[in-house]
Amino acid sequence: MLCASSAWGRIDDAETYRFDIGAGLGMSGYLGDANESSIFHKPGFAANLQMRYLFNERTAIRAQLTGLSLSGNTADFDNMLPGGEQYSFSAFATDLSVRGEFNFLPYGMGETYRRLRRVTPFLALGLGATLSSCDGSSALALSIPMGVGVKYKVSRRVNLIADFTMTKVLGDKLDGDRLADLTTIKSSFLKNTDWHSALMVSFTYEFGPRCTVCNRID
């Protein structure tokens, strides 16, 4: 396969890319036995590394590794626990996920005939796993990240992304063993499982030019 440039302009004017890679920083939050109502009551620190395969201007698949500091204290809320006990925790969680992304607008620069936009809102949904470490113990559970955000093209290859992700952890030990099953309700997909969240700002860089006009050579 041989890529050919258009006779009407430089190849750079129509060049698109297959991958992007980047990193982000932001704020983490927690919902669980020690905080059942306020996502960012005790905000923590979050950081991520991410890589995407760009199918087209509308869809992509993202692999992401996120680290989050989490904390909570049952004394900050009115819920009464069995025996009147109070609990607090501090934990660090590592989440690895794969997410599909959908852009509401055709995202990109150049190629004005395709009506590409430098700004687009997007949705993300995926599957992953969260490993939490708290009070000397660790727990691993499947997770479901659900995100919404906005992308902005700073330049043809550089993207600025702001997004908010809520991640449902299919387990009750994100906040440690002591806080598992405090309400004596057996954990299930809908009841007594934990969540972590992240509000992030990221920069990514695109690479791997995509051949947009190709001629076959036999």
pLDDT tens over the chain, length 218 residues: 444 444 333 434 457 899 999 999 999 999 887 877 788 888 999 999 999 999 999 999 999 999 999 988 877 766 666 566 777 789 999 999 999 999 999 999 876 667 899 999 999 999 999 999 988 889 999 999 999 999 999 999 999 999 999 999 998 888 876 665 555 555 555 556 789 999 999 999 999 998 765 544 44
Two structure tokens written together for 151: 């992308």
Predicted TM-score (pTM) of this structure: 0.82
Tell me if 127 sits within 8 A of 97, measured CB to CB.
yes
Tell me if 160 sits within 8 A of 152, measured CB to CB.
yes
Going by the DSSP 8-state scheme, the letter that residue 35 receives in this structure is B
**Domain regions of the chain by residue span:** 2-215
CATH topology of domain 2-215: Porin (2.40.160)
Two structure tokens written together for 123: 């949705």
Q: State the pairing for strand pair 137-153/119-134.
A: antiparallel
Q: Find residue 34's DSSP bridge partners.
A: none
Nearest CA among 135, 127, 136, 106 for reference residue 118: 106
